[in-house]
Amino acid sequence: MLGASVLAGRAPQVIRATRLVPVGRQRGLRRRLPVVPGLVLRADEDPVLGLVRRRRQAKEAGDTVLASALHAVVNSLVSGHPSRTDEYLRNVARGHHQARWERVEKPGPWTFFPIATSVQAGAHLLLAVLDRMVRDRGGVVVLRDTDSSFIAASPEGGSRRLADGSTLALLAWAEVDEVLGAFGRLAPEPDWPVWKVDSERDGLALHAVSFGMKRHLEFLDGDHPQLLARTEANLGGWYADSPTMAGRDPEHGGRRWTWAMAEREVAYALAQQRAPKEAVRSPVPWDEPGAEATPGIRRLAARTPTIFASLPTALGARPGSRYLEALVADPGHERRRPVALDPGGSLAGWRRLRWIDRRTGEPVEVTTSFEVGAATGAVVLATLRAEAAAWSRPRPPDPIASVTITAHNVRPVGRVSGVLDAHLTGEPGDLAARRPSYGGPDRVGAVHEVARSMGPRPFARMSGLHRHVAERVVKGLPLSDTTIARADAALRANGAEPPMCGCGCDLPVPAGRRGYVDDRHRERAKRRRARARSASE
C-alpha cells in the first residue's frame, strides 16, 4: 500500500489496519546460540542482521562456501520457511475400500505469512521509493528485478536516442549518488549501504540491455564490447547444449552456446544504436554450416511416479531414467511432444535417436526443416535459433482494464514455485490446472455465509441442492465434501454475493432482514445521511 502511494503520489484511505503485537516469551529459548565460527546470535537481537554481517565478513575474506551457505540461511529465515507449504496426497473418496487421491497442501512447520509478506513488501517499497525519486528528477528506471534497479544514467547526464526514434533521459552519475544517499539513514552500519552502485569497470561505463523481467545483459562498451553477465536461467537455460558448443566455458562461466547468444544480442543492440536501419543479427555460431539447425531439446529425468507414469511404455524408461523431450514448432503437431532416452554426452546424432510420441507411444521421425517435414511427415522441432530470437523479443504489455473481487470467489492456491518446479522436472499436463488448492474452512465459511444471507429456498434454487440439504447449510451444520464442492461451484458460476449492510460496515445482511444487519445499523446510516445533508446546506 505504501509503495502504491509513493508511485501514485496520493495517500490512500485506510479502512482498517492490523498490527501484530508479541505476547509472552516462548519457553526453552537459549539466550545465546552459536551458529557458525565467528557468529553467536543473541535472543534479544535481530538474527538477520547478525547473519548478513557475518556473510559480508566471509565474502571479504574470500570464504565463498560460508558466504553461500549463510545466503541460503537468511533467505530461508525471512521468506522461505515463513511462506512454506508442503504437498501431500489426500484420499478424497468416500468409503473404506475406495481410493481417489487429490494433491493438496498444508502450511509448513514454520509458516508465518506476516513475516514473509512484510519482507517482500519492504523490498517492493524500497524499489518504489527509488523509482519515484528518480522520476522526480526527470530520470527513468528501465528495469527492476527483485532487489535491484537499472537507472538510465551517464557520467554527465543528457539523453540518448533509441532505435524506435524515442528519446531516453539520462541522469548524471552525481544525481544518482544524491538519490541513493538519501537512503543512508536506513543503513545498519556506516559501511553497509542500502544500495550498492555498479556504474563502471576499468574506466568504462557499464551498459545493460533489457528484454523483460529476468531477461537482461550487462556489458562494457569500449573498442570491443565486453560482456559481463547474462540471466542464463531464462536465456535458453532449459535446453540441451548445441553439439558444436557444448559444455561450460571456463573463462566466462555458464554454458558456451548461451554466452555466444548473449554476445550476439549485445552486438545487435549496439548496431541498432549506431545505424538502426542497417542493424541485423549475425548468424548463430552454434549451428553447423549446411546442416539442420540445432533443435530445442530438454534433458529431464523420471524422478517421480507422476512423471514416470506419463512416459509411454514403448520408450523403455525405468524409474529415474534420464530422457529427452523435444519442443515442437509445427502447430499441427504441437501435442505430440516426442521423447527419447537420453544417450548422454553430445546430442550430435539427435535425428538418429529412437523418438516416441509421448501421447500415443508410436515411433516418430523428427526434423528442424519444414520442407523435410512436409515431404516425409516428420514432426518439425523448434530450433535454438528461434528460441534465442523469442527470448530477445520484448513481450507486449497486457493492460488490466478493471478488477472486480467477490469475497467468496477468492480461492487461495498452492505456491507458484511448485508449478515452476514441476515444469523444470517435466511434469506432464496443464500445470496451472494441477496447482493444489486449500479446501479448508474459508471455502466452507463462504458457502454458509451466502446460504444464511439468501435463506434456504433461494439458496436451494441457486445451488441445485435439495431443500433439506440447503437448510443444513443455512444452519451451519457439517457438510460433506460433495455438498461443499457443488455449492461452491454454483456460487462461482452464478456470481452470487450476499447483500451487504447499507451502513457501510462490510457485514452481510442476515436472511429475513432488508438493507441492514439490525435496527442499530439502520439508525447509524440515518445519522450519517443527516450529517451529510447538514454539511451540504
DSSP assignment of 229-253 equals EE-TTTTTTTSPPPGGG-SB-TTT-
Contact 113, 81 (CB under 8 A): no
Average pLDDT over residues 79-102: 71
Average pLDDT over residues 391-402: 75
Q: Can you give the residue ranges of every domain in the chain?
A: 2-13+29-114, 134-278, 297-391
| CA 476 to each of CA 94, 116, 441, 491: distance values in angstroms, whole numbers, following the listed order | 22, 34, 12, 17
pLDDT band at residue 472 using 50, 70 and 90 as cut-offs: confident
Half-sphere exposure in the Cβ direction for 58 (13 Å, CA): 19
| Torsion 308-309-312-314 (CA) sign | positive
Buried b (16+ CB within 10 A) or exposed e, 433-458: eebbebbeeebbebbbebbbbbebee
pLDDT of residue 441: 40
Helix, strand, coil share (%) of the chain residues, nearest 5: 40, 20, 40
pLDDT of residue 531: 74
Instruction: Show the cell assigned to 60.
Output: 571479504
pTM greater than the 0.95 cutoff: no
Q: How many CB atoms lie within 10 A of CB 47?
A: 17
| Torsion 423-427-429-435 (CA) sign | negative
Query: What is the average pLDDT score of the chain?
Result: 82
24 pLDDT more than 50: yes
Q: What is the Cα–Cα distance from 136 to 512, expressed in whole angstroms? A: 55
When mean pLDDT is compared over 249-263, 324-338, 498-512, the highest value belongs to 249-263
